[in-house]
A and B are shown apart, each in its own frame.
Chain A
């Protein structure tokens, strides 16, 4: 299927989160992404969909994977892509944020991809600029393209999302990936299990529509997908978890723990992985059960789809103005 054959209009100016997206928004983006997966496997990957468009990747928090994925996605679509990394250590992050927004807006970008360490920062910035804004991760709030790429990965392997049981394990409290995935999977009719030690579970998680477990054995039961989250090192020195070895003992995914899940259950990780902490190398590298490499490939396709969908709205706006 060619991407031009997917007829889909995305009814939002920005992509700030999964919250607010309908089933048809999500399905539309996934269908479009599917087409880009095929396209990206061709020898000639360059397109002209976004020719003449300027995409700025504005990262207030360092990221290699997400930033390069967005960069590649924009370039394959033919956009002019500029990367801007703003030191997160600036004394007054908020001031830098709005000042930067005003400065960038004056350069007339069409698409602004933003990552920031504070929840709500991308939405705040979106109010101040006139281009389409894409949330590449804001604090512990949302990371919508990660959830979309995870959903695409699952859908391509299992054919559907509805009715699946998906376990998300690890540092749920501090994870924007967990929130976006929970919202998306719930919306698409899957059932989410959140698993982690009490110190890494957010309060009120049950009210968000998930089943919450503190034991891997109970939590993984019946799960089709096991999504592991990265645990930051600074949280494992006695602050929230006593030690790495205790965490690995209780929550690190190895073959024994994976056996609690449904037979044939698949394993995912948003990366970067702490091998031997939250996931065993033997599992991460076993392509029969690990979808981790697929996730990276799907990431580029999903980001191309989102960029195209948002840019399409920009085109129609300018056409209206020209009339």
Chain B
């Protein structure tokens, strides 16, 4: 690799949470690696220099929760299409949900995904595996073999492990491997037929509600089990103020717990469901404005570790249904960064710590060598115009499915280019 050419990206605003850096500087790469980054990098005379004045250079984003339709539902999304959407959003690493068809619950399937991704994806895809076989909630999957094959975390996808004993055993067993157990905190019994946040609006629309307790009951139970087992526990996509408070208290007690929220839940609330808008039907549901504000506070004070897209592509037919019958989910990997930046532009949250929620923190939880511009790291980064305004038009998104809950929303922050292993995988200028 020593013969590989050098490239120097200079005069950019460098933001790297790991190095606690937010200043004008440059990034020097050679081949697939970062050689140096900072305000006074030494640029070899043979290096090709690219002037990035006016742009911000960030570590490539790590999206911790992405559903791809592949394998099994390729009409919704494939590894190839999701990777193009990701690259256009500055996402260079994504963790893939295992609740595909078939469910990723076998080492051979993890291996298949990794090979398939190498062949078709332009960003790095990291499979997660199921906690229980076929996500049946009963039979633990082979954490050891799956982890060796490359599974970065364990989750039953959009289903909580409902049986407390199964969950206790999974946490116990996962602790052997220091594996991350990621729970979808939604009590299926309390949810019952619920399709949106329980409250006045649900009553007015005549839709069955999902109480906040459906989320907190699972979190409360699991925190007891984490105390018992010492496992690494992560709650995927919390939605309610009570959950933020509970997790804040658990962290203060020193428990090994982390959590995420989706960028959509940071921008929208239950009122976006008004007039039965199925694009805003999410699981967990969009909750009250008070809940949304508490989630923003949770980001600001570090209670919430990670922001994910919760990317869940659904074909048009799955959403062109009555609200009760339509599928859950929104696409989001392409808008993750711009959505997150809303918290900087409108809520005034400091940029460096905000970006840690989509770079260094998820990389750390998943054990990935990613999310930083430190010398020696893989050259995964994005060049972004942080302030450029644009309007989300679902039809123009690169995902195969167009179900964007934030369709029509005004955002600020445009990804100009994205690099994976030193290779440019997205170039907005080249697109024009």
Which residues of A are interface residues toward B (Cβ below 8 A)? Answer: 19, 92-95, 97-98, 116, 118-121, 123-124, 138-142, 176, 179, 202-205, 207-208
Contacts and interface: CB of A to CB of B under 8 A. Distances in A.
B137 interface: no
A211 to B, nearest CB: 15
Contacts of B322: 93-94, 97, 116, 118-121, 124, 139
A205 B203 contact: yes
B46 interface: no
Interface in B206-258: 206-209, 211
B325 A118 contact: yes
A120 B205 contact: yes
Which of B200, B202, B276, B322 has the most C-beta atoms of chain A within 10 angstroms of its own C-beta?
B322
Nearest to B276: A120
Contacts of B276: 119-120, 123-124
26 contacts: A92-B325, A94-B322, A95-B321, A98-B320, A98-B321, A118-B325, A119-B205, A119-B276, A119-B322, A119-B324, A120-B323, A123-B276, A124-B321, A124-B322, A140-B206, A141-B205, A142-B206, A176-B206, A202-B202, A203-B198, A203-B200, A204-B200, A204-B201, A204-B202, A208-B203, A208-B204
Contacts of A123: 275-276
B147 interface: no
B200 A141 contact: no
A179 B203 CA distance: 9
B202 A93 contact: no
Contacts of B323: 118-120
A100 B209 CA distance: 28
Interface of B: 198-209, 211, 275-276, 317, 320-326
A207 B325 contact: no
A72 B198 CA distance: 39
B412 to A, nearest CB: 32
Which of B201, B203, B211, B324 has the most C-beta atoms of chain A within 10 angstroms of its own C-beta?
B203
B75 to A, nearest CB: 15
A204 B201 CA distance: 8
Contacts of B207: 119-120, 139-141
Contact of B321 (A94, A141, A204): A94
Q: Is the interface of B mostly helix, strand, loop or mixed?
A: loop
Contacts of B321: 94-95, 97-98, 124
B206 A139 contact: yes
A97 B207 CA distance: 18
Nearest to B204: A208
Contacts of A116: 322
Which of A119, A140, A142, A204 has the most C-beta atoms of chain B within 10 angstroms of its own C-beta?
A119
A19 B206 CA distance: 12
A89 B266 CA distance: 38
Contacts of B320: 94, 98
Name the 4 nearest CB pairs between A and B, nearest first.
A94-B321, A204-B200, A141-B206, A120-B276
B200 A207 contact: yes
A119 B324 CA distance: 8
B204 A179 contact: yes
A94 B206 contact: no
Contacts of A204: 199-204
Given A120-B323, A204-B204, 9 more contacts: A94-B326, A95-B317, A95-B321, A120-B275, A139-B206, A141-B205, A176-B206, A203-B199, A203-B203
A239 to B, nearest CB: 10
B246 to A, nearest CB: 21
A139 to B, nearest CB: 5
Contacts of B326: 94
Nearest to A116: B322
A75 B203 CA distance: 35
Nearest to A201: B203
Contacts of A140: 206-208
A7 B209 CA distance: 43
A97 B202 CA distance: 22
B210 to A, nearest CB: 11
A208 B205 CA distance: 12
Contacts of B203: 179, 202-205, 208
Contacts of A203: 198-200, 202-203, 209, 211
Nearest to A97: B322
Given A94-B320, A94-B322, A95-B321, A179 B206 contact: yes
A120 B276 CA distance: 6
Contacts of B206: 119-120, 138-142, 176, 179
B288 to A, nearest CB: 11
Contacts of A95: 317, 321
Contacts of A138: 206
Nearest to B195: A119
Contacts of B324: 118-120, 139
A135 to B, nearest CB: 11
Nearest to A138: B206
Contacts of A208: 200, 203-204
Contacts of A120: 205-207, 275-276, 322-324
A95 B211 CA distance: 28
Nearest to B208: A140
Contacts of A119: 205-207, 276, 322-324
A136 to B, nearest CB: 14
Which of A94, A140, A142, A203 has the most C-beta atoms of chain B within 10 angstroms of its own C-beta?
A94
A32 B317 CA distance: 41
A176 B207 CA distance: 11
A142 B205 CA distance: 8
B286 to A, nearest CB: 16
Which of A118, A123, A205 has the most C-beta atoms of chain B within 10 angstroms of its own C-beta?
A118
Contacts of B325: 92-94, 118
A98 B318 CA distance: 12
